[in-house]
Amino acid sequence: MIFRMMKTNKSTKSVPRNLTRTRKGLGVDFTKVKPYNQDEEKTAQLARMFNVISDKYDQFNDIMTWGMARTWRRNSLLALKPFNPKQILDIAAGTGDMCIKSYKFLNPDHVTGIDISDKMLEMGRVKIEKANLSNKIKLEVQDVSAMTFADASFDAATIAFGIRNFEKLPESLQQINRVLGQGGHLLILEMNEPEKGLLYKGYQLYTKVFVRLTSRLLSSDKKAYDYLQASMHAFPNGQRLINILSENGFKLNKYRKFSFGVCSMYLVEKI
């Protein structure tokens, strides 16, 4: 299959010049992209949606990312290694994969994972127990835009495939900034639609036919797949996201694209 042939791009350390010419998301307010209706708060709808799909999420994620999410998580975490963070916060922790990988790759003292979906975290707890890491990784229900942690509690924070869901992005980034210590790092991993050309056409075909079909078979919540696709289309990526990060107290340390740009990693530092 064409996607099996995709490999992680080795290095795109600087921000490419054409980032601002992104076609996607123009005119679409991503905070208005909601799973079920326009009236209710997005965060409440998301908690419900992720609760419903929690037992299928890992399979869902493998389908959406052609099984490459695992490699992307691991490769992105390597960027944090030189900073040797001891207290790590994983935001939008979901079913716990990033927490477990952080612990294994970065060998911190402790990892705290937060999420608004208690059912996603329940799935995560099972995996953490299986990995014998319950005393090293703690999961809590918390909304990133209103975290209860004390200032400067963490050396590093991570968000894997979560940021495009945040209803209150500036407030969330300011909260992350607050709970990080001086010079602390935030690592963001997020999916993008390919920009153009053959890859874009192949991607459209793959998502419209195979992913849609399989996801609908897998999930009892038919709207979840449509939301996940629409949110990817609407969320600002590349230079637009870097601008939002710098408006909210972070400076860019490293930007990298994986697998021909279908996934991006942003490593930023608290200023």
- For ligand SAM, the nearest residue by Cβ is 94
Q: Which span (16-24, 28-36, 90-98, 255-263) binds ligand SAM, by CB under 6 A?
A: 90-98
Q: Under the criterion CB under 6 A, does residue 50 sit at the interface with ligand SAM?
A: yes
Q: Which is nearer to ligand SAM, 161 or 255 (CB)?
A: 161
Q: Which span (18-26, 27-35, 43-51, 236-244) binds ligand SAM, by CB under 6 A?
A: 43-51
Residues 146-185 that bind ligand SAM (CB under 6 A): 160-162, 165-166
Distances (CA, A) of 62 to 155, 218, 228, 240: 30, 12, 13, 27
Q: Which is nearer to ligand SAM, 61 or 207 (CB)?
A: 61
Structure tokens at 250: 């972070």
Q: Which is nearer to ligand SAM, 91 or 239 (CB)?
A: 91
Query: Rounded to whole angstroms, how far apart are CA atoms 166 and 42?
Result: 8
Q: Which is nearer to ligand SAM, 163 or 239 (CB)?
A: 163
Q: Under the criterion CB under 6 A, does residue 193 sit at the interface with ligand SAM?
A: no
Q: Under the criterion CB under 6 A, does residue 191 sit at the interface with ligand SAM?
A: no
Q: Under the criterion CB under 6 A, does residue 221 sit at the interface with ligand SAM?
A: no
Q: How many CB atoms lie within 10 A of CB 23?
A: 9
Q: Which is nearer to ligand SAM, 54 or 87 (CB)?
A: 54
Q: Which span (81-89, 139-147, 203-211, 214-222) binds ligand SAM, by CB under 6 A?
A: 139-147
Q: How far is the CB of 8 from ligand SAM (least distance, A)?
A: 16
Query: Rounded to whole angstroms, how far apart are CA atoms 225 and 239?
Result: 26
Distances (CA, A) of 133 to 96, 119, 129: 11, 19, 6
Q: How far is the CB of 51 from ligand SAM (least distance, A)?
A: 8
138: exposed, middle or buried (Cβ count in 10 Å: 0-12, 13-18, 19+): middle
3-class state of residue 221 by DSSP: coil
Compute the chain's Rg from CA coordinates.
17
The answer to whether the beta carbons of residues 269 and 184 sit under 8 Å apart is yes
Q: Under the criterion CB under 6 A, does residue 53 sit at the interface with ligand SAM?
A: no
The answer to whether the beta carbons of residues 133 and 124 sit under 8 Å apart is no
Given candidates 52, 89, 98, 137, which one binds ligand SAM under the rule CB under 6 A? 98
Given candidates 45, 53, 61, 184, which one binds ligand SAM under the rule CB under 6 A? 61
Q: Under the criterion CB under 6 A, does residue 88 sit at the interface with ligand SAM?
A: no
244: exposed, middle or buried (Cβ count in 10 Å: 0-12, 13-18, 19+): middle
SS (H, E, C) 49-66: HHHHHCCCHHHHHHHHCC
Binding stretches for ligand SAM (CB under 6 A): 43, 46-47, 50, 61, 91-94, 97-98, 114-117, 120, 143-145, 160-162, 165-166
